[in-house]
Structure 1
């Protein structure tokens, strides 16, 4: 599924502050009230040109957002948090986790992915193909298989979605940083943060996340001058009509690699959710730079 979001705002010069060596160390708990109040008001659809005039009102926004930032300049650091580290639906960002689980299972069997598995993994990450994801979700053993892999990857708060509903997997921003560290962490990482994914598996995930479709290259990349490597997720909840919009990935800020995860829900539209995620990514990176 794809969606053409509005063009991201220009990058701020404040990102240069990220060069400080301890920029991403420690934990920052900050209120997201100001960020949410800056969001767009719910839109009202224009009436049809003919026939009865009936205003269709979008659901009222109940948006919340959490961002986490971790610099890759040193081992053993904890992410800077912007907002509460609460649980959110993953939507399609879980596809990175599914691929990591698939690769771990293949490693355990002493093999590489088959041609068929690779033919499914590539569209799952690059174009967010849901049918390919359905197949690989079943292949890894659905939620139990995902959770078994996550215990090895260091995720502590992520619970797989029920049945075939992988998009309803629940996670936190901190857990998504743990996943990203397992994928992007540099060689020589401390034993406590060593990835169970081998170098070939990590390089494969990185390659796919670096080549997502152009119409999906939004989100955490708004906090960087380069496109980076990312995976986004979006899901409209049928019960409320509100949107889950998420983005995770590795970006470069002032020449330094940085992992960023932004999770949100409750936006009145996907466009509002994308704007919220991108603002949160920029503000979280700037907050990390002030530490």
Structure 2
């Protein structure tokens, strides 16, 4: 919105003759002659001199000036305040896109990344399209199981807890398959995701949970369900899932954890070599802490020639995402 001034500088009183105002601040001197004629002299500060004019006073002016001597003067100064300009809105998506220009992506690969500052609510997303989830879908599977248990008013069984622990902490696929069946596979995942606010995620066909399709923005929404206060999951369910994500097996703690300067993170990674192409799907989602401040980050990639190159890509994308959001808030 364009700024507006309080009033037009140099507005002329109705009882004056023509005056020329060329500066912001003006001084008006009013004198009363012995004959009762009002003499008005206008002077500007920082501008040229102005003309004078004389006029017969009105009855109200005569009454107001009755107590003055002929030499009495009244000085008034009118000024206009300078408006404070509205700062332009920050395009955080554009800043993230700019930061991603320095991230090397090999030919044939693609990447998408999203970041959220839970305290300020500011976020940014880079990249389009859907990606295979590989093992990051295990967070979604457990969230769906916990939601179903809540609806039924029950706790997870001992077997479900055992599967959940192995599925998240060590990325055990057999456990994931057991819980995928328990939630009702893709149909059960879709029902939970509708409540979680994930609109771009579609469960894999049949038993193929690792080929669930998702977006970086949807994974960010899922992390908000796990780490945020406004969630379909109860505090107990969120704490349970966060605890497992914060205790990932050594050797599987790469990915978004590369962003933080402190060993405070909770994450789930996914990696999958596609049998038809031999190219790698490498994904990482989670919460990281930088200088005492938490961020939610999701980094998805596919078409990587090796697992190591895919890991390097998602880590670089995650660093660029957090850095762009931090720079925008400085």
Per the normalisation by structure 2, the TM-score is: 0.69
Change (3 A) 1:218 1:178: same
C-alpha displacement of 1:30: 1.4
Determine if contact 1:27/1:78 at 8 Å carries over to the other structure.
Answer: no
Distance 2:122 2:327 in 1: 16
Among 251, 254, 263, the alignment partner of 1:215 is 251
C-alpha displacement of 1:79: 2.3
C-alpha displacement of 1:158: 0.4
1:268 aligns with 305
Distance 2:118 2:305 in 1: 35
Q: Is 1:67 equivalent to 2:110 in the alignment?
A: no
Q: Is 1:238 equivalent to 2:275 in the alignment?
A: yes
Determine if contact 1:36/1:64 at 8 Å carries over to the other structure.
Answer: no
Can you list the C-alpha shifts for 1:2-61, whole angstroms capped at 9, x where unaligned? Answer: xxxxxxxxxxxxxxxxxxxxxx99534616554235x5xxxxxxxxxxxxxxxxxxxxx5
1:190 aligns with none
Determine if contact 2:92/2:324 at 8 Å carries over to the other structure.
Answer: no
Among 192, 203, 209, the alignment partner of 1:149 is 192
2:93 aligns with 27
Q: Quick check: 26-35 or 170-179, which moved more? A: 26-35
Gaps of 5+ in 1: 1-23, 40-60, 188-193
Can you list the C-alpha shifts for 1:93-115, whole angstroms capped at 9, x where unaligned? Answer: 00000000000000010011010
Determine if contact 1:235/1:245 at 8 Å carries over to the other structure.
Answer: yes
Distance 1:79 1:62 in 2: 27
Is the radius of gyration larger for structure 1 or structure 2? 2
Among 121, 124, 127, the alignment partner of 1:80 is 124
Determine if contact 2:113/2:321 at 8 Å carries over to the other structure.
Answer: yes
C-alpha displacement of 1:288: 1.3
> CA RMSD for the aligned pairs?
1.6
Determine if contact 1:85/1:174 at 8 Å carries over to the other structure.
Answer: no
Q: How does 1:240-259 map to 2 (within 5 A)?
A: 240-259=277-296
Distance 2:299 2:251 in 1: 18
2:62 aligns with none
Instruction: Tell me which protein shows more helix as a share of its residues.
Output: 1
1:16 aligns with none
3-state SS of the aligned residue for 1:216?
coil
Aligned pair count reads: 236
1:225 aligns with 261
Gaps of 5+ in 2: 1-89
Distance 2:128 2:287 in 1: 19
Q: How does 1:34-183 map to 2 (within 5 A)?
A: 34-37=102-105, 61-74=107-120, 77=121, 79-81=123-125, 83-183=126-226
Distance 2:138 2:279 in 1: 21
